[in-house]
């Protein structure tokens, strides 16, 4: 096979080529020589990246106008990024998931950690929902779908364009059906003995959050005979897992009426509707109101959206996490449990834990930290990229 003729882009003299050689997958715009020729490259163009001394580093996908100007795809500068190349990456990703899970419901591709930068693929049986959050993947979408069908045998592929990453790459926000036909009703998904109703076309992200699966399983162990409060519940994430674990009752709080309706459907499907209730409203306002009502629960879980998705939002984000802890801690009965979660890339574990402990302390409570959780193994962490280990779950006994 003839080696492809890629354009060449080059690092600035002070760019950290060593980090790239050791596995860091991103090249930031301020590290790249953005001359007229490089700026003229179409987003999604494949190129050979060289260091300042013209030594090749690998094949990258280029987005000249993005903060992440290039993403490493292959160390081999003669690699052909086609359906065959994509199939090899997908086969490697699939091999891990089939070893871990009996049923095909999982995150199949976790972006950089699976060697497909910017690509998220969640699998729901014969349906795959893909988020191509990098320009190179959007350009290669037809080949990626071809490889996905070949490797997994899925019959339906849905494109979800709602990710923040697509905005940063200058990509459109149009969802699409790329293969097969979209389901006309929410899809029941079994996890940890609970039944979740996943809206694959109108729900948040890809329709269901698989990353909290092990943390929901741990919370389930604390939920037996307990009164449970699940704040930012979405489609019932922790609440339904708690009911499957024998909780006496579970109350789900969320701002989205459609999400809570799906949670109610899930509770009914698993025969736990009589122990389940919902409360729609802003989480901060609802927690404040519950405090004024002297409400008490044996297990309280708060799993908010990312308050600090990027570094500029870090300080206000940490204050928000502290406030959540301060408002939720008084609702926990003596000897009960408080679970606080963060999916913020910019807030590392130490910063997040500090904010939580400040909030708990300001509420006049003392805490034991009994468990620290992260995302499940279908969300592998790329050690060289701290952002891939975004999820943190802290389990406290108060």
Task: Determine the Cα–Cα distance for residues 37 and 94; give it in Å rounded to an integer.
Answer: 38
Domain count of the chain?
3
Q: Is residue 319 domain-resident?
A: yes
My answer on whether 268 and 356 are in the same domain is yes
Q: Is residue 49 domain-resident?
A: yes
Task: Determine the Cα–Cα distance for residues 240 and 245; give it in Å rounded to an integer.
Answer: 9
Q: Is residue 133 domain-resident?
A: yes
What's the pLDDT at 3? 61
Lookup: tokens for 28:
């930031």
Residue 111: which CATH number? Answer: 3.30.750.80
Residue 65: which CATH number? Answer: 2.30.130.10
Task: Determine the Cα–Cα distance for residues 381 and 358; give it in Å rounded to an integer.
Answer: 28
What's the pLDDT at 2? 59
Task: Determine the Cα–Cα distance for residues 242 and 232; give it in Å rounded to an integer.
Answer: 15
Q: Can you give the C-alpha Rg of the chain in angstroms?
A: 22
Asked if 343 is an active-site residue, the reply is yes
- For residue 83, the tally of other CB atoms under 10 A from its CB is 19
Lookup: tokens for 304:
């908010």
Is there a contact between 310 and 346 (Cβ–Cβ < 8 Å)?
Answer: yes
Domain end point (choices 74, 100, 119): 74
My answer on whether 268 and 368 are in the same domain is yes
Q: Is residue 3 domain-resident?
A: no
**Coil, helix or strand for 330?**
helix
Question: Structural domain of residue 150, as residue ranges?
Answer: 83-179
Q: Is residue 117 domain-resident?
A: yes
Q: Is residue 195 domain-resident?
A: no
Lookup: tokens for 176:
């699409």
Task: Determine the Cα–Cα distance for residues 254 and 25; give it in Å rounded to an integer.
Answer: 36
Name residue, tokens 């399983």.
Answer: 217
My answer on whether 327 and 362 are in the same domain is yes
Q: Where are the beta strands (DSSP E) in 274-329?
A: 276-280, 297-302
My answer on whether 58 and 100 are in the same domain is no
What's the pLDDT at 307? 93
My answer on whether 263 and 288 are in the same domain is yes
Residue 246's alpha-carbon distances to 99, 242, 331, 341, in angstroms, are 29, 7, 20, 22
Question: Where is 237: in which H helix or E strand?
Answer: helix 237-244
Residue 310: which CATH number? Answer: 3.40.50.150
Task: Determine the Cα–Cα distance for residues 234 and 212; give it in Å rounded to an integer.
Answer: 12
Q: Which of 51, 49, 53, 78 is nearest to 61 (CA)?
A: 49
Helices then strands (H, E): number in the chain?
12, 19
Is there a contact between 219 and 395 (Cβ–Cβ < 8 Å)?
Answer: yes
User: What is the DSSP track for 347-374?
Assistant: S-HHHHHHHHHHHHHHTT---EEEEEE-
Lookup: tokens for 26:
């991103």
Tens-digit pLDDT profile for the chain (398 aa)? 556 789 999 999 989 999 999 999 999 999 999 999 999 999 999 999 999 999 999 999 999 999 999 999 999 999 999 999 999 999 999 999 999 999 999 999 999 999 999 999 999 999 999 999 999 999 999 999 999 999 999 999 999 988 778 888 888 889 999 999 999 999 999 999 999 999 998 877 778 999 999 999 999 999 999 999 999 999 999 999 999 999 999 999 999 999 999 999 999 999 999 999 999 999 999 999 999 999 999 999 999 999 988 889 999 999 999 999 999 999 999 999 999 999 998 999 999 999 999 999 999 999 999 999 999 999 999 999 988 889 999 999 99
Task: Determine the Cα–Cα distance for residues 380 and 371; give it in Å rounded to an integer.
Answer: 19
Quick one: residue 180, left, alpha or beta (phi over 0 = left, psi -120 to 50 = alpha)?
A: left
Structure-derived torsion over alpha carbons of residues 98, 99, 101, 105, reported in degrees to the nearest 10: -20
Catalytic residue among 145, 341, 343, 356: 343
What's the pLDDT at 191? 97
My answer on whether 70 and 110 are in the same domain is no
Prediction pTM value:
0.94
């Amino acid at each position: 096979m003839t080696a492809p003729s890629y354009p060449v882009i080059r690092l600035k003299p002070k760019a950290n080529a060593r980090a790239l050689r050791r596995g860091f997958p991103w090249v930031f715009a301020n590290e790249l020589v953005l001359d007229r020729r490089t700026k003229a490259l179409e987003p999604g163009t494949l190129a050979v990246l060289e260091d300042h001394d013209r030594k090749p580093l690998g094949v990258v996908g280029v987005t000249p106008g993005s903060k992440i100007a290039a993403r490493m795809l292959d160390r081999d500068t003669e690699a052909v990024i086609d359906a065959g190349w994509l199939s090899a990456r997908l086969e490697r990703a699939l091999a891990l998931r089939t070893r871990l899970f009996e049923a095909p419901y999982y995150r199949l591709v976790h972006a950089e950690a699976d060697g497909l930068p910017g690509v998220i693929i969640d699998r729901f049986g014969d349906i795959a929902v893909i988020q191509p959050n990098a320009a190179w993947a959007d350009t290669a979408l037809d080949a990626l779908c071809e490889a996905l069908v070949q490797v997994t045998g899925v019959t339906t592929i849905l494109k979800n364009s709602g990710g923040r990453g697509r905005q940063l790459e200058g990509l459109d926000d149009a969802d699409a059906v790329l293969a097969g036909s979209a389901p006309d009703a929410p899809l029941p998904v079994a996890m940890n003995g609970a039944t979740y109703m996943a809206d694959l076309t109108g729900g948040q992200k890809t329709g269901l959050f698989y990353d909290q699966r092990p943390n929901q399983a741990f919370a389930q162990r604390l939920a037996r005979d307990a009164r449970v409060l699940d704040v930012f519940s979405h489609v019932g994430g922790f609440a339904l897992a708690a009911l499957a674990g024998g909780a006496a009752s579970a109350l789900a709080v969320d701002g989205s009426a459609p999400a809570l309706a799906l949670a109610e459907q899930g509770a009914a499907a698993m025969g736990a509707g009589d122990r389940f209730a919902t409360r729609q409203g802003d989480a901060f306002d609802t927690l404040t109101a519950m405090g004024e009502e002297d409400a008490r629960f044996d297990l309280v879980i708060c799993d908010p959206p990312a308050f600090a998705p990027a570094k500029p939002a870090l300080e206000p984000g940490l204050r928000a996490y502290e406030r959540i802890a301060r408002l939720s801690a008084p609702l926990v009965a003596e000897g009960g449990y408080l679970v606080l979660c963060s999916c913020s890339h910019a807030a590392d574990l130490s910063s997040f834990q500090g904010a939580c402990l400040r909030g708990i302390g300001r509420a006049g409570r003392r805490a034991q930290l009994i468990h620290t959780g992260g995302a499940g193994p279908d969300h592998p962490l790329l050690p060289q990229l701290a952002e891939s280990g975004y999820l943190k779950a802290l389990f406290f006994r108060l």
